[in-house]
Amino acid sequence: MNPAENLTYDVFVNDPPPQDGLLPNGEPKLFSPMASTLIYGSRDAVLTDPGMTADQARVLGDWVAAKGRNLTDIFITHGHGDHWFAAGLLAERFGARIVASAGTITQMHASAATRPFLWDKLYTGIPPSPVTAVTVPGNRFTLEGHDLAIVEVGPTDSADSTVLHIPDLELVVAGDVIYNGVHMYLAQAAVVGGFGPWRNAIDMVQALKPRHIVAGHQNHRLSDDAERTIAETRQYLDDADELLRTENTAVGFFNAKVDRYPDHLGRTVLWAGTSVLYGVRQHPRADLAQIILAAWL
């Protein structure tokens, strides 16, 4: 019997919320699209990373409802608010449990604490976001008897990143460990001293031998081919290391990345991450939290 019989998945990519301000090249700021995955059997379903605003939650919730399955769990890959601030609304609508690793739950509390200084200054319509996520024994849970494994991969674009591995689908729901056609948020390198830990995380995803990867930030026109998205995510980090050596200013780095990746979405996130990396370089004694806030606002 095919292990994936009666098990499948579908992906919903949201629209970024409205935002004020301009990028160095004059274009309006806009956050990156974020992907939610619905993994479902004949009866039940599990949803990942349900987004940030009440508007996003309503549209996503209608899409989930149309699948006609019983939503048992909502899984959060990592603590960044764009992936989970709306989780409570979806959990309430469907009567679902919110699941995450212990590390993600720690980071969720950190994001909730920075909401008034960062997220609420950028976006309206973020609903109340109490942290109600729970861990599961051994970082494993099931969907109609199929294993769902939470794999902790360490720092990537966030501390304490995880991915969700569904062996029967040869699928990894990768959160922000793997990107797909979207500029990557590079600021965490300032915290952990470079991209080495992120490269290790990519190796851990590859070791799971997935055929399909759902990147948390993606261009919905692109495929979910694991080999391509892994290779492109590595290449993006290699390019970043090269440009950090050759570009002396944040604007220079930003322009060079846009030149190399003209079709990538998410230039606002590129600019924020770039501003952090060059802010730390120019003000090595300054408070990193302040540099991050200034980079986004």
Contacts to Zn ion from residues 59-88, by CB under 5 A:
80
Q: How far apart are the first and last CA of the chain?
A: 54
Rounded CA-CA distance 41/148 in Å is 13
Contacts to Zn ion from residues 152-211, by CB under 5 A:
176
Nearer to Zn ion among residue 29 and residue 80 (C-beta)? 80
Site string for Zn ion, 91-130 (x = CB under 5 A): ----------------------------------------
**In whole angstroms, how close is the CB of 157 to Zn ion at the nearest point?**
6
**In whole angstroms, how close is the CB of 176 to Zn ion at the nearest point?**
4
Total residues at the site for Zn ion (CB under 5 A)?
Answer: 2
**In whole angstroms, how close is the CB of 49 to Zn ion at the nearest point?**
8
In the beta sheet, which residues pair with residue 98?
74
**In whole angstroms, how close is the CB of 287 to Zn ion at the nearest point?**
23
Nearer to Zn ion among residue 143 and residue 215 (C-beta)? 215
**In whole angstroms, how close is the CB of 272 to Zn ion at the nearest point?**
11
**In whole angstroms, how close is the CB of 283 to Zn ion at the nearest point?**
25
Rounded CA-CA distance 6/214 in Å is 20
Sheet containing 161-166: give its strands across.
140-143, 146-154, 161-166, 171-173, 212-214
Nearer to Zn ion among residue 73 and residue 82 (C-beta)? 82
Rounded CA-CA distance 233/176 in Å is 10
213 with 205: CB under 8 angstroms?
yes
Nearer to Zn ion among residue 7 and residue 151 (C-beta)? 151
Angle at 110 between CA 109 and CA 113, to 5 degrees: 85
Nearer to Zn ion among residue 37 and residue 72 (C-beta)? 37
Structure tokens at 230: 């892994």
Nearer to Zn ion among residue 143 and residue 295 (C-beta)? 295
Burial 205-236 (b: 16+ CB within 10 A, else e): bbebebebbbbbbbbeeeebebeebbebbbeb
Using Cβ positions, the residue closest to Zn ion within the complex turns out to be 176
Rounded CA-CA distance 74/37 in Å is 10
Give me the residues that bind Zn ion (CB under 5 A), please: 80, 176
